Amino acid sequence: MAIVYELFYHVLYKLLPESIYNKNLEYLLKTRFSVFPKGPYFRDTIRDLLVDGIFNVDDVTWQRQRKTISVELYSAKFRQLTTESLVELVHARLLPVLENVVNKSTTIDLQDVLLILTFENVCMIAFGVDPGCLRLGLPEIPFAKAFEGATEATLLRFFTPTFIWKAMRCLDLGSEKKLGTSIKGVDEFAGEVIKTRKKELSLQTEDERRRSDLLTVFMRLKDEQGKPFLDKFLRDICVNFILAGRDTSSVALSWFFWLLEKNPMIEEKILAEICRIVNERDELKNKRELEIPLIFRPEEIKKMDYLQASLSETLRLYPSVPVDHKEVNVPKTKKTYCKSKECRKHTLHKVTQYKKGKDSLAAQGKRRYDRKQSGYGGQTKPVFHKKAKTTKKIVLRLQCQGCKHVSQHPIKVSARKRPCRSIIVLVLLCCIDELMFCVFVFAEVQTL
């Protein structure tokens, strides 16, 4: 798997057109977001796992799901659930596991532990159930194993030609066999939780009325026709939410602690800031003992400016979502003026596209870095010898349907003009400033 990653990131992605400028990224991901959908290739590749969830739909369906989820994410009940679940997991689960490792003088993979922590947290938020992964000994849970296997096998599809993995799926071989088994485990777990929750909600107990997890909230809502959402839709919403919140948060936390270990001066400043805020508590001012365990209040977290800056710098240097796949809606036909002698009028043209020029493998547009040696907080700015990493141009080929006259129109990527009409791989390089709008907002909130 590691060899496949190296092959993709160092060789294959360089063959595709890319954009790394802030204005272009804003144009693609915000200004003209509807023009650049995920596209059929991406949706078909991950459909078996995410089906019709928010990360695998476009246009009106995406807008409808996003609007509904956003309302719930920013509700007071949902934030309270997130806070309570994190407090429970950190103090009752995570700290005992770490203390046990220290007492036994053994080693542990912190990245795996943080992944389990965020997985449990997002499961409690999405399904309202506790998988029970974060315990002494880190037991293997069937649902967690199935979900991990499904995501790995789905990711492998992006490195495999489409006709090959589709053939493997038909023959039930290799990674596709593993994917099918894993998705079956995920569906069984989700189906059982949904079935149990419906029975609990039908009883209308006091505990069920106070539930604010994502599954329960959507069970209470109605679709556009005034009917309850289908079990399939509920499954898709929760599975997509788990995928979004699990890896993003754990990756950010892993890089954060790694950078702290490499920069002890920053760690000291963060601890000093925390101690200063704790010393401002009324209990210490009145010479009373602090409550144990020490739990930070929302107003105290807002005062931790240096901690927030360090987390933001971590996300800037090592984005949790470094690659985003986008396609462009290219019209198959377009009515435009034909300059041939036969027509000389506006006619219908067939639109195709192709790449023209040298690619980045010809060592065009190499970049170097100007690093300020000022510790962890130093700025890293890219200095480009040329404006693009590749000299390839995307050319539209327009063929008149009447006289078959052909004209070519190179497309330039700029903030004001439409970017290249082709499959675009957005490589959010760690050295580019102000790219954090691509990281999921709720993932950063959970990190805090």
Domain boundary among 326, 341, 368: 326
Three-state secondary structure call for residue 205: coil
Question: HSE of 172 in the Cβ direction (CA atoms, 13 Å)?
Answer: 3
How many angstroms separate the CA atoms of 443 and 95, rounded?
Answer: 21
Q: Do residues 346 and 236 both lie within one domain?
A: no
pLDDT band at 227 (very low <50, low <70, confident <90, very high): confident
Q: How many domains does the chain have?
A: 2
Burial of 60 (0-12, 13-18, 19+ CB in 10 A): exposed
Among 308, 326, 344, which residue terminates a domain? 326
- 23 located within any domain: yes
Residues 270 and 339 in one domain: no
In-domain check, residue 257: yes
Residues 125, 82 contacting (CB under 8 angstroms): yes
Same domain, yes or no: 106 and 47:
yes
Q: Are residues 230 and 316 in the same domain?
A: yes
pTM value > 0.75:
no
Digit-coded pLDDT (tens) for 33-86: 777 788 888 889 999 998 888 888 887 788 888 887 887 778 888 888 888 888
Is the residue at 74 inside a domain? Answer: yes
Whether residue 165 is found in the same domain as residue 220: yes
> 235, 318, 65: which is closest to 55 by C-alpha?
65
Model confidence pLDDT, tens digit, residues 125-184: 888 888 888 888 888 888 989 999 999 999 999 888 999 999 999 999 999 999 999 999
Three-state DSSP at 89 gives helix
Domain contains 271: yes
Inter-CA distances, 323 with 55, 250, 424, 430, Å: 14, 17, 10, 11
Residue 366 lies in a domain: no
pLDDT tens by residue, 8-22: 444 555 555 555 556
Q: What is the mean pLDDT of residues 196-214?
A: 75
CATH number of 282's domain: 1.10.630.10
Q: Are 292 and 403 found together in one domain?
A: no
For residues 341 and 199, membership in a common domain is answered with no
pLDDT for the residue 42: 87
CA–CA distance from 303 to each of 273, 274, 297 (Å)?
9, 9, 10
- Residue numbers of the domain that contains 403: 332-354+394-413
If asked whether residues 256 and 340 sit together in one domain, one would say no
Residues 321, 344, single domain; the answer is no
* Domain match, 292 and 339 both: no
Q: Is residue 80 part of a domain?
A: yes
pLDDT digits over 270-322, tens only? 999 998 988 888 666 666 666 677 788 888 888 899 999 999 999 888 888 87
Q: Are residues 348 and 261 in the same domain?
A: no
**Cα–Cα distances in angstroms (integers) from residue 178 to residues 3, 55, 182, 195, 360, in the given order:** 20, 22, 6, 26, 36
Is 448 within the bounds of a domain? no
- Tell me: do 168 and 206 sit in the same domain: yes
Rounded to an integer, what distance in angstroms lies between the CA atom of residue 90 and that of residue 119? 13
Asked if residue 427 belongs to a domain, the reply is no
